Each structure stands twice: as C-alpha cells, then as structure tokens.
Amino acid sequence: MANYTEVRYINAYVSGSAAPMMASKTQRKQSAAMPKFRPKRKVVIAVDPVAIFGIIVAFVMAVMLMVGFMTLNRVNEEAIVMEQYVTALQEENVSLLTTYDNGYDLEQVRQIAQAMGMVSIDQVPHISLDVSVPVQEAQPTAWEAFLTFLTGLFA
C-alpha cells in the first residue's frame, strides 16, 4: 500500500514514496552488546603554570626595580660629592690665581729682562713677507684623458 507524502507542496504520487516491506515480528535481530561508557580521566592541574611564570617574572622585575633605585640613589650621592669637589677646586683655583698674581712684580720682571738683554717688541724691526701659493694646474678628468689617448692613438 502506497502512502502519500505528508509534505503539502507535493500533491502528486512520487515513485519513491512506497513504504518498504516491514520485517516480520518473528525475526529478531541479535542485539550487540553496547560498550560500557568509561569517562576519561581529567587531568587536573592544581596551579596554572602560566600564572606561576607570571608571578615569578613580576617578582624578578620588582627585585630589579629595587636594585635600580638603590643604584640611582648611589649615583645621586656620588654626583653630590663630585659637585662639592668641583666647588672646592674652583675655590682653590681662585685662591691660587690670586697668589700667583701677587707672587711677582711686573716692574721687577721688566728690569730683570732688560738686564738679560731683552728688548721690548716696539724696538724690534719687523719684516713682513708676502707668501703666495702657486696655483696648481687642474688634473684632466677621466674623459679628457681618454680623448687624449684616442687622439694620440689615431694621430
């Protein structure tokens, strides 16, 4: 017995709509034993390794930050000591310059120089020389040298 389809948009009989023969109820299929479902063991990691790595990196960076601050403080202290040293050297330089300037008398130095036979710059004759640098001839370029070679070759 052919059944019509239950689909509403098909109104005509279709050859494939025949119901297949049903197996008799007397024949029973042997049922296969289904395998028992064994849930897979879940691997449980108590602590996330990425989180541990992040904590270690944060700790190392914090230690490096503290070391950097200590180094910065030490360098600042050394800079203060060097500034004080420079100030002391400048003061010493001023005192040494005054000692040097007061250590000799210009009139006494002039008398010693005249006694040694030295004369002042106004009494020395001056000779001025004009020195002119000769102009060098320009070296020929590579193209000019090539043309000269060709002219000599075919002349």
> pLDDT (tens digit, 9 = 90+) per residue, 25-58?
555 566 777 788 888 888 887 888 899 999 999 9
Per-residue pLDDT at 68 exceeds 70: yes
Strands (E), the chain: none
Give residue 5's pLDDT band: very low, low, confident or very high (50, 70, 90).
Answer: low
Q: What is the pLDDT of residue 76?
A: 97
pTM of the model: 0.39
More confident residue, 28 or 111: 111
C-alpha to C-alpha distance for 100 and 81, rounded to whole angstroms: 28
Identify the DSSP state of 18. B
Q: What is the pLDDT of residue 3?
A: 63
